């Protein structure tokens, strides 16, 4: 079985990324781009990002996770700390986040280190979730092998009865990570594959070094 994809072509012509129109701090540019992709049509979940970790088996692994908050310090997402992802982060907190927004022909690649956020912050977000999502976090031993989906459905049904009319508290093994960036690269598609790539690199004095990369 094979399929030649060499004929897939597209000319990127929607925008540009030039040094004289960008801020000194990459988080400001991220905020601008995120707002613009939110306002544009053609993308359901602009907060969907790829999280790349180095697994305990020595292989890198990517998966799509939803960004839930960002601020001047970094980027926050939530997961099961005992999952394959959580164990990988515990062993090596250096990871990569990437966003791909094809409707605006843009990518962002973020390198940084992850650390658990304060328990009260994880509690606050967990409380904001629908009850079904709360119970799902308790039911699933994320990344573990299970015999069938029926097992999950049965556990969920049992928990729904157990917690009926009761407060559902966050389990200790579930919570948030903040990724504090050391490098953020912004990629804007341009014609003739001469794409704009601007990289911000954090310096020892906490200023950001700005460089243009060849496409």
pLDDT at residue number 141: 86
Q: Which of 126, 107, 94, 85 minimizes the C-alpha distance to 15? A: 107
pLDDT at residue number 185: 98
pLDDT at residue number 23: 98
Band of pLDDT at residue 9, cut at 50, 70 and 90: confident
Where are the strands (E) in 25-105, listed by range? 48-54, 60-66, 69-70, 75-80, 94-101
> Which residue ranges form the domains of the chain, and what is each CATH number?
19-126+176-212 (2.30.110.10)
Q: Which two tokens stand for residue 69?
A: 């908050």
Q: Please identify every residue annotated as catalytic.
A: 193
Q: What is the pLDDT of residues 125-158, one digit of tens each?
A: 999 999 999 999 998 888 888 899 999 899 999 9
Q: What is the pLDDT of residues 180-192, one digit of tens each?
A: 999 999 999 999 9
Q: Which of 178, 191, 215 minimizes the C-alpha distance to 77? A: 178
pLDDT at residue number 140: 87
């Amino acid at each position: 079985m094979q399929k030649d994809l060499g004929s897939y072509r597209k000319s990127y012509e929607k925008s540009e990324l030039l040094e004289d129109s960008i801020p000194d701090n990459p988080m400001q540019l991220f905020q601008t781009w995120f707002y613009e992709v939110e306002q544009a049509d053609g993308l359901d979940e602009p907060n969907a990002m790829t999280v790349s970790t180095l697994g305990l088996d020595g292989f890198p692994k990517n998966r799509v996770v939803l960004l839930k908050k960002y601020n001047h310090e970094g980027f926050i997402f939530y997961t099961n700390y005992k999952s394959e992802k959580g164990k990988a982060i515990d062993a090596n907190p250096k990871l990569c986040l990437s966003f791909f927004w094809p409707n605006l022909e843009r990518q962002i690649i973020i390198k940084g280190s992850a650390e658990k956020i304060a328990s009260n912050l994880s509690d606050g977000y967990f409380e904001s979730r629908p009850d079904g999502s709360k119970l799902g976090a308790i039911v699933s031993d994320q990344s573990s092998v299970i015999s069938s989906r029926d097992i999950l459905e049965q556990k969920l049904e049992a928990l729904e009865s157990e917690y009926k009319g009761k407060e559902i508290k966050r389990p200790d093994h579930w919570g948030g990570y903040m990724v504090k960036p050391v490098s953020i690269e912004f990629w804007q598609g341009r014609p003739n594959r001469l794409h704009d790539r601007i990289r911000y690199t954090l310096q020892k004095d906490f200023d950001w070094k700005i460089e243009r990369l060849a496409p």
